[in-house]
Amino acid sequence: EEEEEEEDGEGKEEEGIEAADGEEDFSADANLFDQEGGDFAAPEPDDVKESFERPFAKQTAEQQGSERQKAEVKEEPLSEAEIKETQPSRKRPFSEQGHGYYEYREDRSYGRAKSPQPPAEDDEEDFDETTVAIDTYNCDLHFKVARDRFSGYPLTIEGFAYLWSGARTTYGVNKGKVCFEVKINEEMAVKHLPVTEPDPHVVRVGWSLDSCNTQLGEEEFSFGYGGTAKKSTNCRFENYGERFAENDILGCYIDFEAGEEVEMSFSKNGKWLGVAFRTKRSVLGGRPLFPHVLTKNCAIEFNFGQKDPWCTIREEFTFIQHVGVDQRIRGTVGPKSKSECEILMMVGLPAAGKTTWAIKHAAGNPAKKYNILGTNAIMEKMKVMGLRRQRNYAGRWDVLIQQATQCLNRLIQIAARKKRNYILDQTNVYGSAQRRKMRPFEGFQRKAVVICPPDEGLRERTVKRTDEEGKDVPDHAVLEMKAHFTLPAAGEFLDEVSFVELQQEEAETLVKQYNEEGKKAGPPPEKRFDSRPGSFRGRGG
């Protein structure tokens, strides 16, 4: 039987993960779900201090580690042959576990944990809305924005050091000749990364539409110049310009007056590198392009014109801050209160189609700017040369997945403090997990979306997924999830429940069948045999 404890209203109050947007509370990240069995232990205060209290201070060579040469920082290898030298292609063996398995282990542990208190909401910002600055609503959750809103850096603790982190600005442009500058302030210490990790420090700068994701240069109408002399758009990488690294200054130019085309170009330390991108004005259709940065373990700073130029600026180009506010276009403005935000909790067995539905729903509702919270979304931010790591990762896949699920745990807690719209893309079949995961989002519109295909359809999808990716979740784990599969209901922690594919009555019949099937199979192997003290009891999202 599923082990559950009643929710503890007197549970320890969380102090929060991230400071209010625009403020730097470097100690707040220490308070995390404190679950029995080490489910996700908070880092020691000294570790938090080391990771957060030096966002822009230049580190000594000893602190950064002498094993890496900064001048040789690489963003993407020049060819697939080169990437095979550092990350030889291999298909994940079926014996290795995927993210679904670690979701299962974590969800199972929720019944043994105290329920978290809803976190404090981020304070309202006192900020001049006419200023061009980093948009705290239009950046990754793990991108820390400084108080002045002109600089920032990514989280680098634990598995976050593998992730790219991006941010766009509050205003974009669709006319004139406009520019901005970016300085690479610091290559942050990531000594916990293996020395075999490619591209530990790298930055891309450029322009993108407000509707694009934060992975600069990896989709249409997203144009980036990266630190290994590569330009990219729509995930196509080509040689361009020169390499850049710590202390270098990049100039980013856009020219809407180049005839029928819009031209984008860059400079390094004042040296113009030539035109990198041309796109038809008619294709843009008057839509504005926004300054954009994507960083991996580097602290950056923007100059939109709030300071004197750091380097020589091309003639006839104007800093974006000096463009009249009536000539700039404001990006999407976020919700004003939690009551305007919604979180959609996906519910369904592995391979049911939750991620597919979440991606389609987010794409079909661009005005809501959904943040998808799931291990798949985390892996999208761990790309190498624009490719997901399972296709070319030389290390242990299960270890990387565990680190990704740890990152997801932190992002969920950060998310509860931010006024945004979310889709929680996990299995969430345990009733105890459903309650605990929704509790921090009190005040949001909390909704569940149940993906319950016919049993035959689920079997077909499972086979297809196994053929393509390897076995994600072992059979015994699926059986235990079936035994404890609980359909959510509107009530204390959910405002609404909707069903995709099988509707409620048919879904209830099938889930009852799953419950019986799972209970007949008995407990999973580790419950029967694994009595080792301190054995791993589940981490991650």
Q: Are residues 350 and 275 in the same domain?
A: no
Q: Are residues 458 and 507 in the same domain?
A: yes
Q: Are residues 367 and 408 in the same domain?
A: yes
Q: Are residues 199 and 298 in the same domain?
A: yes
* Residue 393 token pair: 């990762």
Residue type, 409: N
Q: Are residues 295 and 343 in the same domain?
A: no
Q: Is residue 59 part of a domain?
A: no
Q: Are residues 284 and 353 in the same domain?
A: no
CATH number at residue 315: 2.60.120.920
The three-state secondary structure class of 416 is coil
Task: Determine the Cα–Cα distance for residues 229 and 240; give it in Å rounded to an integer.
Answer: 5
264, 299, 327 — which closes off a domain?
327
Q: Which of 266, 273, 231, 241 is nearest to 252 (CA)?
A: 266
Quick one: pLDDT at residue 151?
Answer: 98
Quick one: pLDDT at residue 196?
Answer: 83
Q: Are residues 146 and 291 in the same domain?
A: yes
Q: Is residue 5 part of a domain?
A: no
| Buried b / exposed e along 187-211 (16+ C-beta atoms within 10 A) | bbbbeebeeebbbbbbbbbbbbbbe
* Chain centroid to CA 148: 23
Q: Is residue 64 part of a domain?
A: no
pTM of full prediction above 0.85: no
Q: Which domain holds residue 291?
A: 134-327
Quick one: pLDDT at residue 401?
Answer: 84
Task: Determine the Cα–Cα distance for residues 34 and 219; give it in Å rounded to an integer.
Answer: 38
Q: Are residues 174 and 259 in the same domain?
A: yes
Q: Is residue 54 part of a domain?
A: no
Q: Are residues 156 and 293 in the same domain?
A: yes
User: Cβ(487)–Cβ(347) under 8 Å?
Assistant: yes
Task: Determine the Cα–Cα distance for residues 438 and 7; give it in Å rounded to an integer.
Answer: 12
Quick one: pLDDT at residue 7?
Answer: 41
User: Cβ(493)–Cβ(443) under 8 Å?
Assistant: no
Q: Is residue 50 part of a domain?
A: no
Quick one: pLDDT at residue 467?
Answer: 87
327, 354, 387 — which closes off a domain?
327
Q: Which of 16, 325, 297 is nearest to 161 (CA)?
A: 297
Q: Are residues 264 and 351 in the same domain?
A: no
Q: Is residue 67 part of a domain?
A: no
User: How many structural domains comprise the chain?
Assistant: 2
277, 297, 327 — which closes off a domain?
327
User: What's the Rg (C-alpha) of the chain?
Assistant: 24
Q: Are residues 425 and 359 in the same domain?
A: yes
CATH number at residue 431: 3.40.50.300
- State the pairing for strand pair 249-258/261-268: antiparallel
Q: Is residue 49 part of a domain?
A: no
Element (H, E) at 82: helix 80-86
Per-residue pLDDT for the chain (541 aa), expressed as one digit of tens each? 334 444 443 333 333 333 334 333 433 333 333 332 233 333 333 433 343 334 434 443 434 444 444 433 344 444 444 444 444 333 444 344 555 555 555 555 555 455 555 566 555 667 889 999 999 999 999 999 999 999 999 999 999 999 999 999 999 999 999 999 999 999 999 999 988 888 899 999 999 999 999 999 999 999 999 999 999 999 999 999 999 999 999 999 999 999 999 999 999 999 999 999 999 999 999 999 999 999 999 999 999 999 999 999 999 999 999 999 999 999 999 999 999 999 999 999 999 999 999 999 999 999 999 999 999 999 999 987 777 776 455 566 777 888 899 999 999 999 999 999 999 999 999 999 999 999 999 999 999 999 999 999 999 999 998 888 777 788 999 999 999 999 999 999 999 999 999 999 999 999 999 999 999 987 765 555 444 444 333 333 3
* Chain centroid to CA 388: 14
Q: Is residue 518 part of a domain?
A: yes
Q: Are residues 250 and 349 in the same domain?
A: no
* Residue 94 token pair: 């079926």
Quick one: pLDDT at residue 366?
Answer: 95
